Amino acid sequence: MPSPSSEWRPWRTLRGQLTLINTVIVLLVIGAGVMIVRLGLRAALEREVDAMLRGGVREVAAALDDLYPEIDSVVAEMQRKARSNEERGWFMQLLTADGVTVWKSDHCPDEVASSPPANLDRREAVRQVGSYRWARLMVAEPGEQVFLVRVGMSTEVLDESIAAVLGLLVAVGGFLTLFAPLVGYVLAVRATRPVADILRTADRLEPRQLADRLPVRGTSDELDQLASTINRLLDQVAGELERQEQFVADAAHELRGPLAAVHSALEVALAQPRTTDAYRETLADVLEATRHLSRVANDLLLLAEHDSGQGAAANHHSLDVAVVAGQAVSMFAGVAEDQGIDLSLIAPEPARVRGEQADMRRVAGNLLDNAIRFTPRGGRIVVRVVLQDEHVVLTVADTGVGISAADVARVFDRFYKADPARSHGAEGRSGGLGLAICKSLVTAGGGSISMDSRPGQGTTVTVRLPALAPSLPVT
């Protein structure tokens, strides 16, 4: 919407500026058109006048050739021609080569009559002095007698004709100038109507209400491209806000249970005197709940840091994924053995990537923790690290219960939990954040993570990270 200041200063608005530009362009076009017409019209009229004057001077020269040496007859012929062209305003002069006037018409101006013969290379030429224009022609007669014939006219007639045409053009131009701002404003309104629609739609948008989208007319012009770009940005912002709202809601839901359990346990403990063992049991339950809360809080902090870019620090350390995977397998070997699961590692060669040791340990640990929780007794888990197409590929494959395709599509979402019947006793340990953290850490390292799972057959999680050259030293 226009600001209050723009209402008082319309020339500051886009419509006002377009109107002003349109008016200035019209004025420039009119001015340039008047100048071009004036120059072109004058040139055309001068060419026409020159042609008539040249014809007249040739007629006089022909009469001179025919009647010479009878000068009186020549003068009489020139007088006749002068009278017949009096309406045109013609004047004539006959003079010798040394500038002596033999005869001149009554209308011959003094500045022309007193003008000495010009030394020109051509025998025929057109000259102009002041407001007079004439054609001159040298005529050589027998006995080496040379005469100069001049036939001319005043250019005031040309000026009057040009002035009449220019007056008409100026009148039309003035009319157009008066209507130029109005027409320019109408055109500006039509041109900026999409901008006004964009402004109205944008004015309706609120941080929590991003359902409206800018209108796209389908013209594929710059305004359509702008609207499409802003709509894509709004889609991204709306999606991000929705994810944040869902994240906060899921976090609150995840924290509400342990907090309620702690609150209930403490209320029961304080309701009446208890034995020391009873208090110890209550405190142990509270301690376990607070540990879970601490894990969830740390996971949330880690995800928040990666979302803001703080967690994606410059990964300047070279690490061997095979070594990290071996450490994770060693750490979970006892748990796997207690649950009757065969856990093995296949890492035939060093596999170096650039990243943080702690992040890689977190990824491997989370994947193994998930695999053990969802693999029944007698199952098998294989951790494999190989080099493939300039990438280090870490896979954790189990023979567990597997999950459906619908769950696979969302398994890396935060707080998403598949069917709890899949687990066999360790529910709630990760709070639905384990795989989401893995994805965040792997993505921050320039890699990718994916899952392939079939119910009743098992699950394979694959992590791909850009490999480093084998010669790079470990830091």
**Could you list the pLDDT tens digit for every one of the 475 residues in the chain?**
444 444 446 566 777 787 888 888 888 888 888 899 889 988 898 899 889 999 888 888 888 888 888 888 888 888 888 888 888 888 998 888 788 888 998 888 888 888 877 654 446 788 888 888 988 888 877 766 788 889 999 888 888 888 888 888 888 888 888 888 888 888 877 777 777 777 777 777 776 667 777 778 777 777 788 888 888 888 888 777 777 777 777 677 667 777 887 888 788 888 888 888 888 888 888 888 788 777 777 777 777 776 666 555 555 688 999 999 999 999 999 999 999 999 999 999 999 999 888 889 989 999 999 899 999 999 999 999 999 989 999 999 999 998 888 888 888 887 777 655 444 444 444 456 788 888 888 988 889 999 999 998 999 999 999 998 764 444 4
Tokens representing residue 90 in the block: 């013609």
CATH 1.10.287.130 in the chain is located at 222-308
- 409-415: long-range pairs with CB below 8 Å, 24+: 411/435, 411/451, 412/436, 412/438, 412/439, 412/449, 412/451, 414/247, 414/250, 414/303, 415/247, 415/250, 415/251, 415/253, 415/254
Residues of the chain with CATH 3.30.565.10: 318-466
Residue 331, token pair as written in the block: 């750490």
**Which residue shows structure tokens 């060093």?**
350
Q: Would you say 326 and 347 are in contact if contact means Cβ atoms under 8 Å apart?
A: yes
CA 249/CA 67 separation, integer angstroms:
120
- The answer to whether the beta carbons of residues 176 and 96 sit under 8 Å apart is no
What lies within 8 Å, CB to CB, of 81 at 6+ separation is 56, 59, 60, 63, 92
Q: State residue 423 phi and psi, 5-degree precision.
A: -80, 160
Q: How far apart are CA 150 and CA 127, in angstroms?
A: 10
Q: What CATH number belongs to 222-308?
A: 1.10.287.130
Domain 318-466 has CATH 3.40.50.2000: no
